[in-house]
Amino acid sequence: MKANFNIMNLVRENVKALSPYRSARDEFEGEASISLDANENPFDHKNLNRYPDPYQRKLKQKISELKGVKESSIFLGNGSDEAIDLLIRAFCEPLEDSILIFTPTYGMYQISADINAVETVEIPLTNDFQIDVESASKIDAKVTFICSPNNPTGNDMDTQIVESILRTSKGLVIIDEAYIDFSKRKSWTERLEEFPNLVVLQTFSKAYGMASIRLGMAFANEEIVSILNKIKPPYNVNGLTQNYALQALENKEAVLSEIDTILQERQGMKMALLKLKEVRKIYPSEANFLLIEIDRAKVLYQHLAEKGIVVRDRSSQVEHALRITIGTPKENKTLIENIKAFYA
Ligand SMILES: *Cc1c(COP(=O)(O)O)cnc(C)c1O
């Protein structure tokens, strides 16, 4: 447990002082037989004429069972990208506070910070893509982002190092677990009670196959969740999304079986790539993609794109590197054939 930690000391003054918008759905909770409070069209359009639950209670109930986190510790957003933005907005004073990131990593942390006029302090990851604790401990950031498994490198961050950052940081520590379902390790959600400054981000966009519905999760102590709820757009998760997710989560087995296939394919793709002499390096991956260093990466990227196969050119972040998402068995086979043909 972290001693003497008061989250309210980190919140921006204007956010603390804010009295949030109260929607019709806030003023009256419960089941009304006649709803004449929200200026909605009264005629039934598959219930889509009604505003959705601003706090997504049914969906949170389901997610609470799924993830083993209590409902009051769950925030839902329009993708986890919304949670990233709201966290910066709630806690970082523009032109004054900073966020800390470990690069190369997911691009949205810095972009959200830039949009909010918040400075980004970057510490490069070590050669094996771990966090340099020594350097990290010297930075006093309001919000620290740790992406684990990390995008685009694919590795998990060392548990001891993350723990030491959680203990020593005076600010919030956000652990982005967008790829946790592909990793062998346990989620940091299990340690929310221990660290009042911890926020864990997860998403339905990757393993769960629902990128299009835009649904992201932030898990944190109730105080942090209340602050995010206070500043979010009232109906940030639309009704179609809430309903679709509720239904889809009934069939968890399908997702687990797809994850299984993706993990097998990841291994298969790795074996196939290892046979190519042009492949210089394949980084260990706990995610649904491989980061590889390969001869003439940029030219290969172009060649594949012309064939209609799009991978991600990450050579600006890691020299000679491409990031390849694991596809269906058939797609992966086609990719490998095309890479072979390119070098032949
Ligand atoms: C894809 C990704 C996200 C985005 O998630 P959404 O829920 O779709 O907004 C967040 N973090 C990382 C590291 C990602 O790779």
pLDDT in tens, 65-113: 999 999 999 999 999 999 999 999 999 999 999 999 999 999 999 999 9
Q: Is 148 in the pocket of ligand 1 (CB under 6 A)?
A: no
> 201 C-alpha to center of ligand 1: Å?
9
CATH topology of domain 253-343: Aspartate Aminotransferase, domain 1 (3.90.1150)
Question: Which residue has tokens 């359009």?
Answer: 45
Residue type for 173, please? V
Q: Which residues of 164-188 are buried (b: 16+ CB within 10 A; e: fewer)?
A: ebbeebebbbbbbbbbbbbbeeebb
> 150 C-alpha to center of ligand 1: Å?
11
Q: Where are the domains of the chain?
A: 7-250, 253-343
Q: Identify which has the larger pLDDT, 71 or 22.
A: 71
**pTM listed for this prediction:** 0.97
Pocket test for ligand 1, best of 75, 78, 80 (most atoms within 8 A of CB): 80
| CATH code assigned to 7-250 | 3.40.640.10
In terms of phi and psi (left: phi > 0; alpha: psi -120 to 50; beta: otherwise), the region of 292 is beta
- For residue 303, the SS3 value is helix
What is the pairing mode between strands 279-282 and 289-294? antiparallel
Gyration radius of the chain over CA positions: 22
pLDDT of residue 60: 98
**Tens digit of each residue's pLDDT (9 = 90 or more) over 179-236:** 999 999 999 999 999 999 999 999 999 999 999 999 999 999 999 999 999 999 999 9
Gap between the Cα atoms of 271 and 283, Å rounded? 13
Of 219, 206, 172, the closest CA to residue 287 belongs to 206
Pocket test for ligand 1, best of 63, 78, 151, 180 (most atoms within 8 A of CB): 151
CA end-to-end span of the chain: 58
**Tens digit of each residue's pLDDT (9 = 90 or more) over 216-232:** 999 999 999 999 999 99
Residue 3: pLDDT over 70: no
| SS3 assignment for 107-126 | CHHHHHHHHCCCEEEEEECC
Q: Is 105 in the pocket of ligand 1 (CB under 6 A)?
A: no
